[in-house]
Structure 1
Amino acid sequence: MAVLSTACGVAGCAPTSSGPEDAQTVLLQRPAGSTNDTKIYDSVLATCEKTTGITIKTQDIPSSGYLAKVLQQASSKTLPDVLMLDNGEVPQIAESGALAPLKPLGVTTNGFAEGVVQASTYGGELYGVQPVANTIALFVNTELLAAAGLKAPTTWDELKRTASILTKGDTYGVAFSAAASEEGTFQFLPFFWSNGGDETNIPTSEGAAALQLWKDLVIAHAASESVLTWTQADVNDQFIAGKAAMMINGPWQFPSLDKAGVKYEAVALPAPQLGAEIVSPLGGETWTVPVTGNKEKMASAAQVVQCLGSDASQLELGSGRNLIPTNENLAGQYAQENPKMKGFVDQIPGLRARTAQLGPDYAKASQTIYTAIQDVLTGGAEPLEALRRAETK
């Protein structure tokens, strides 16, 4: 079980439970993040204190044991007033009855991308507000593309052609993570979903075609066989070292890329064919109101959650943390102010929660998918048969 870290936030050191304070003081709990993330969130929370008139005390829990801590708190009925969760954890905690539906508390998500709202919805009820999101896009080495007279690929056929041309010497055309883990599934889902794949019925021709794309890239040596073991961090290392001309990755890699001085651009992932919508996995945290039994505090907590989802909060969090505002109405302004995020912003309409269809059972589907990927790329299995075999197992 995780041990509480030193809990000093917007209103100073916090207690370990909401305690007997008046209803205008709430305890907010979050996993411990980077110094930069904490600083930016504290700035947003300070603004929310002024906006709502509510005092916000923060409690940081080590991220490595965060979910276990939340589950223990839910069991012992010691949850805080405001709780941060990974959006993929919402169904599990909501199913336990530990979270309050937000709409009866007056919380709205007008303008939010549909997939973002779905990610925080369980059993038809909204349980969380997600102000910013992350996903993955295609990073291209602009110097290598320019030298080859190429543009960033926008379709699968263009991806294969471009990756093939850029493969020279010890530089592969494209790198991605096909690891036997959620990272591998996360990177594959945009191809799977965008081509009509469905995690409720995995072994279909649409899903197989997406897996064939990855197989084609590896067979053509446009992608290294090492993708089978690479994490997303490993993929980034290959790109920085000049051993991959393109890579699939997330905005969390911006700091290391900028530090290394790589000339790059992040563009939307290639679609199966021109004009097709790109459906990408939605990552990030959502803010919830636990059922504490104190109606006045829960009402105050709901005001804080609403403030965290406000336009101002989204823009500050997005710019400061290289994340995407979830209100589609902010897309144009945000992309103009943060041009390197445009490739991610372009994918907002198609963002989809991994747990949207299967809830807590998503983990089983993820294992089926990454098992099939491994089978195809290591054993040379045909994609459709690999998907069938993995689902049977």
Structure 2
Amino acid sequence: MKIQTKTRMTKFLAIAAIAPFVLTACGGGGGSASGDGSTLTLMDYYNNDPDKALIQTAIDKCASEIGVTIDREVVPGKDLIQKVLQKSSSKTLPDILMLDNPDLQEIASTGGLAPLSDFDVDTSGFAQGMLDAGTYEGDVYGLAPTANTLGLFYNKKILADAGLTPPITWDELKTTAAALTQDSQFGVAFSAIATYEGAWQFLPFMWTNGGSEAALDSTENKEALQLWKDLVDSGAASKSVINWGQGDVKDQFMSGKAAMMINGPWQIPALSADESLEWGSVQVPVNKAGQTPIAPLGGEMWTIPQTGDSAKQAKAAEFISCFTADDTQLSLSTDRFTVPTKPELAQEYVEKMPDMEAFTEQIANARSRTGELGAEWPKAATEIYTAIQLALTGKATVDEAFAQAAKG
């Protein structure tokens, strides 16, 4: 899961604010004024294997199907937005642009992307949360072939030896985590780091409890924050959660220093590589039995920049239709431990990938981070992780944390 950094988004906002027109470059993709669409340029941030190779296979398949050659440029995730801005100013925007889904509305708001409806791309059948992430002011600008989210992983042997089952509610999470805490082993691990990663991990607790990013200083949000504080203050979670990214959380779980963890399915290849580790996963616990778990959607959108080259844009639209088609969704999801974004594919997918059942269930009710606030989401995310840090370090009470975070 790619979580954008605060620096990355701040840099984008600063530049976009002074030059919003730059992204509506008139030159064609790859710098040509026009063309027959036989060669397309594409930019993404899948720069690590096996993702890089798996995405390339899917790109090659779709390129062959629509009869084009694709020149692919892969950049580090933290550099993608800056690279897009540089290319827009030199009129060399790619014909196909992949964006982390929370970035899409920021780019679309500048006029830099073409609505998919301009090219009759079929957007029916996609999960509503993912459509929300790809929508700006009523128009769909991007589609994602797969998605990811968060769940609760647990060490089967540790829980079985203690005669415990995976927790479903917050109360069960607290009592189970406390019972599993001993010596150097904590009951549960999660990421409360002062980045968007910490806000991302908090959202399932906040949203499931009825909280909203539009009213951060609410009772529901404070209750979710109190849960995290209770886990840390009781010793059931390490005080170091304020410094842990999701990779660190995974390391704690794999080393046996945490019996449970909040994390995503992108960690499954590493977990499965350790044959001595027996693990399972369930949806993120809810405050009260009967609540529907709601978690954030991760995943990347594939978009068509406004290059001014209609022939290439039409071919880019064909590529996106292929890249988000049922067969591509299933193959990418199976290979990459992600979830198809069309709910009708869920049953077939889970039959192939039973380890992904909890995450597939979680995706059915997952929500876009930008669905409520749109371009204002980064500000809310910053206040969320700031409030978490204030509360967990004792610099503010839970009751004061969100209000204090809002003051900057």
- Asked if Structure 1 and Structure 2 have the same fold, meaning a TM-score greater than 0.5 normalized by the shorter chain, the answer is yes
Q: Give, as a single letter, the amino acid of the residue that structure 1 aligns with 2:103.
A: E
**1:311 aligned onto 2:326:** yes
Q: Give, as a single letter, the amino acid of the residue that structure 1 aligns with 2:380.
A: A
Q: Which range moves more in the overlay, 186-195 or 362-371?
A: 362-371
Residues in 2 aligned to 1:124 and 1:20: alpha-carbon distance in whole angstroms: 29
Q: Which range moves more in the overlay, 220-229 or 24-33?
A: 24-33
1:55-204 residue pairs with structure 2 within 5 A?
A: 55-204=69-218
- Alpha-carbon offset, residue 21 of structure 1: 4.5
**Which residue of 2 is the match for residue 214 of structure 1?**
228
Q: Give, as a single letter, the amino acid of the residue that structure 1 aligns with 2:260.
A: M
Residues in 2 aligned to 1:275 and 1:51: alpha-carbon distance in whole angstroms: 46
- Alpha-carbon offset, residue 121 of structure 1: 0.8
**Which residue of 1 is the match for residue 246 of structure 2?**
232
1:226-280 CA deviation, whole Å, 9 max, x = no partner? 1111111111111111110000111121222222332111221111222211111
**1:392 aligned onto 2:383:** no
**1:359 aligned onto 2:380:** no
Residues in 1 aligned to 2:387 and 2:41: alpha-carbon distance in whole angstroms: 44
Q: Give, as a single letter, the amino acid of the residue that structure 2 aligns with 1:247.
A: M
State the 4+ residue runs in structure 1 displaced beyond 3 angstroms.
Answer: 15-21
Q: Give, as a single letter, the amino acid of the residue that structure 1 aligns with 2:338.
A: L
Residues in 1 aligned to 2:80 and 2:66: alpha-carbon distance in whole angstroms: 28
1:269-308 residue pairs with structure 2 within 5 A?
A: 269-308=284-323
Residues in 2 aligned to 1:339 and 1:218: alpha-carbon distance in whole angstroms: 32
- Alpha-carbon offset, residue 127 of structure 1: 0.4
- Alpha-carbon offset, residue 124 of structure 1: 1.2
Residues in 2 aligned to 1:392 and 1:41: alpha-carbon distance in whole angstroms: 42
**Which residue of 1 is the match for residue 24 of structure 2?**
none
**Which residue of 2 is the match for residue 25 of structure 1?**
39
Which residue of 256, 259, 262 corresponds with 2:270?
Answer: 256
- Alpha-carbon offset, residue 193 of structure 1: 0.8
Tell me, what secondary structure is at the counterpart of 2:393?
Answer: helix
Residues in 2 aligned to 1:76 and 1:274: alpha-carbon distance in whole angstroms: 55
1:310-342 CA deviation, whole Å, 9 max, x = no partner? 111111111111111111111111111111111
Size of the aligned set, in residue pairs, is: 379
- Alpha-carbon offset, residue 54 of structure 1: 3.3
Q: Among the aligned pairs, what percent are the same residue?
A: 46
- Alpha-carbon offset, residue 137 of structure 1: 0.9
Check conservation: 1:18, 1:26, Cα contact below 8 A: no
**Which residue of 2 is the match for residue 335 of structure 1?**
350
Residues in 1 aligned to 2:407 and 2:43: alpha-carbon distance in whole angstroms: 40
**1:344 aligned onto 2:359:** yes
The TM-score, its normalising length taken from structure 2, stands at 0.89
**Which residue of 1 is the match for residue 385 of structure 2?**
370
**Which residue of 1 is the match for residue 340 of structure 2?**
325
Check conservation: 2:142, 2:303, Cα contact below 8 A: yes
1:91-115 CA deviation, whole Å, 9 max, x = no partner? 1111111100001211122221111
Cα 1:17–1:277, aligned 2, differ >3 Å: closer, same or farther? farther
The TM-score, its normalising length taken from structure 1, stands at 0.92
1:31-50 residue pairs with structure 2 within 5 A?
A: 31-50=45-64
Q: Which range moves more in the overlay, 381-390 or 370-379?
A: 381-390
Structure 1 stretches lacking a partner, 5+ long: 1-14
Tell me, what secondary structure is at the counterpart of 2:142?
Answer: coil
Cα 1:40–1:17, aligned 2, differ >3 Å: closer, same or farther? farther
Residues in 2 aligned to 1:61 and 1:377: alpha-carbon distance in whole angstroms: 35
Q: Give, as a single letter, the amino acid of the residue that structure 2 aligns with 1:30.
A: D
Tell me, what secondary structure is at the counterpart of 1:85?
Answer: strand
Tell me, what secondary structure is at the counterpart of 2:47?
Answer: coil
Residues in 1 aligned to 2:186 and 2:49: alpha-carbon distance in whole angstroms: 35
Check conservation: 1:190, 1:281, Cα contact below 8 A: yes
1:153-185 CA deviation, whole Å, 9 max, x = no partner? 111111111111111221111001111111111
Tell me, what secondary structure is at the counterpart of 2:314?
Answer: helix
- Alpha-carbon offset, residue 379 of structure 1: 1.0
